[in-house]
A and B are shown apart, each in its own frame.
Chain A
Amino acid sequence: MLRLLLKRCLHGLLVLWVVATLTFLLLRIAPGGPFDSERKLPPEVIANLEAKYHLDEPVWQQYLRYMGGVVQGDLGPSYKYLDRGVTEIIAETLPTSIVLGGLAMLFAVLVAFPTGLFAAYFRNSFIDRCCMAIAALGISLPNFVLGALLIWAVALQLGWLQIGRWDDWSSVILPMITLGAAPTAFLASLLRSTLIETMSEDFVRTARAKGLKESMVIIKHALLHSLIPVLTVIGPLAAALLTGSFVVEYVFAIPGMGRFFITAVTDRDYPLIMGVTLVYTALLVCANLIVDLLYSFVDPRIRVE
């Protein structure tokens, strides 16, 4: 168990290092620079700026300097926000994104599990068809379209909620639904199909033969067994939530890390892009690590391997 954990951690660190190196190189060879503006800067000014940010050094030296900083938790200065470092910007905006992503995940799990169970219980009935049709729509609905639709319907037409704010619990509702909708649809249909598949296994027949009620068969016997494929997709789903958060934060004007990332891309603020990329990767690595641990919790066979 401890060995597995250690191995996974090392693998995660390796992924982080590969991503950091590749992104670093990619941003060095990308055309255009952070100091390209409409007004051409005099060469002396550019030289000064490059000296200030150590851009005049050879690439390997910049790389070592940057990696040295990363190890100490310093992600370098931002080219755009002159008085703030990247670490500072991320520290301010990351909690917002995590709250949003976490709530969306919670929403997805809380809605998808009952729906999937329900659909599997009443499989091939009218209710099941309706649930699955809604899920199919939900998977195909881009989150910016859903976000715009919700804003238009709930905020502008009905006037129930206000938008463009991020201060109390009510401003979280629409972004949470927007971000959580696709994962919900995906999880619900996955849970339904794995449950239905599990229902034809021998141990389920045994449980039925003992005279258990169908609902107990599903909840106590089939559900746990169906959790493994569901856990497998939690990692990719976390990735989907991360990328979804760029868009949702943009649509709802939420001051999270994703919105800063988009502005950083437009401004070519390379250190900020790099820093956010690293944080996203780290989050993802952690999510996968947790999923791996949950695995061995749900399925004892994995612990032995």
Chain B
Amino acid sequence: MDSPRKPFDLVIALSAVFVGLVFVAACLAPWIAPYALGGLEEKQMLQTPSLAHWLGTDGLGRDLLTRVLYGARVSLAVGLGTALISLLLGTSYGLVAGFKGGNWDHLMMRIVDIFYGLPDMLIFILLSLLFGRNIGGLLVALGLVSWVRFARIARGQVLQTKELLFVESARALGASRGRILLRHIMPNIVGPVIVTLTFSIPSAILAESTLSFIGIGINDPYSSWGTSWGTLAQDGYRAMRSYPHMIASPATAIFLTILSFNTLGNGLRDVLDPKQK
């Protein structure tokens, strides 16, 4: 149907580069950041971008480039952590549901349906009341929300795959259920699962930064991990009337990161999973 879109390959390459940069920033923040995290310079408050402070400084005289670089750690940790938790939880759930079939499948998917219909952010806020407002609690809350997507994808793929001839022949050759599941069905669902994984990273980053922006996300302003981009954006938003540079850099960082991951996800989907579009 769609003809291959050549000009977008450049966009995908750029996205990959940007995601790479975010990774570098997250891993090497203490070494590449121009100033120490939490370093206050009283005389340097609210400066607009300059050579000394490329992105300017905030209301306490902290260098914004440093804060944005450190913020990449929070975003990536949340994005990757959530993706991993929901991958493990959701995929195994979906595998079992699809493989068992029948009433089991029906019951397990009913539970998924209830979760799926509710607004993520709502469950998420409720769970964060339970698990606390630190990075670990946030990961658990986000993971518990986004596993349903993996469950649906994995189950659908298993249902399709288990009727195929090679599964039937494996069964005829006397392979055990576990072996069929691991050796024959698993490899066939990897593609769609990877695509779902790529999309779940930006949605976790979006959820985290949104929560931090409205002031109910990670509540740990002096963490050595750095401050969430969402919190930086909130600080900037409050001062936006007079100092718009303060919101510009964290907001751009959030937008570009989400955009890059989404673009990569679309690219991967075209390659790994051409049926789903």
Q: Least Cβ distance of A36 to chain B in Å? A: 13
Docked-complex contact A242 and B119, CB < 8 angstroms? yes
Docked-complex contact A284 and B240, CB < 8 angstroms? no
User: CA of A242 to CA of B125 in the docked complex: distance in angstroms?
Assistant: 13
Q: Least Cβ distance of B9 to chain A in Å? A: 14
Q: Which of A171-202 contact B (CB under 8 A)?
A: 193, 196-197, 200
- B215: Cβ under 8 A from any A Cβ: yes
Docked-complex contact A239 and B233, CB < 8 angstroms? no
Q: Least Cβ distance of B113 to chain A in Å? A: 9
Instruction: State the majority secondary structure of interface residues on B.
Output: helix
Size of the chain B interface, CB-CB below 8 angstroms: 43
User: CA of A136 to CA of B264 in the docked complex: distance in angstroms?
Assistant: 12
- A72: Cβ under 8 A from any B Cβ: no
Docked-complex contact A243 and B262, CB < 8 angstroms? no
Stretch in contact with the other chain, from A2-10, A15-23, A73-81, A204-212: A15-23
In the bound complex, residues from chain B placing their C-beta under 8 Å from that of A277 are: 122, 126
Size of the chain A interface, CB-CB below 8 angstroms: 50
Docked-complex contact A30 and B277, CB < 8 angstroms? no
In the bound complex, residues from chain B placing their C-beta under 8 Å from that of A108 are: none
* B262 and chain A: residue at smallest CB distance: A140
The residue from B1, B121, B230, B247 contacting A246, defined by CB atoms under 8 A apart: B121
Instruction: State the majority secondary structure of interface residues on A.
Output: helix
The residue from A15, A129, A240 contacting B119, defined by CB atoms under 8 A apart: A240
Q: Indicate with 1 or 0, residue by residue over A262-300, a CB within 8 angstroms of chain B CB atoms.
A: 100110100001000100110010001000000000000
In the bound complex, residues from chain A placing their C-beta under 8 Å from that of B202 are: 140
Docked-complex contact B259 and A144, CB < 8 angstroms? no
Stretch in contact with the other chain, from B35-43, B83-91, B250-258: B250-258
Task: Give A residues with C-beta under 8 Å from B.
Answer: 15, 18-19, 23, 26-27, 29-31, 124, 129, 136-137, 139-145, 148-149, 151-152, 156, 193, 196-197, 200, 235-236, 239-240, 242-243, 246-247, 250-251, 261-262, 265-266, 268, 273, 277, 280-281, 284, 288
New A-B contacts (4) at CB < 8 Å, excluding given A26-B127, A129-B7, A144-B210: A26-B126, A144-B233, A152-B247, A262-B215
A-B pairs with lowest CB-CB distance, top 6: A243-B121, A140-B259, A239-B119, A243-B119, A145-B251, A140-B258
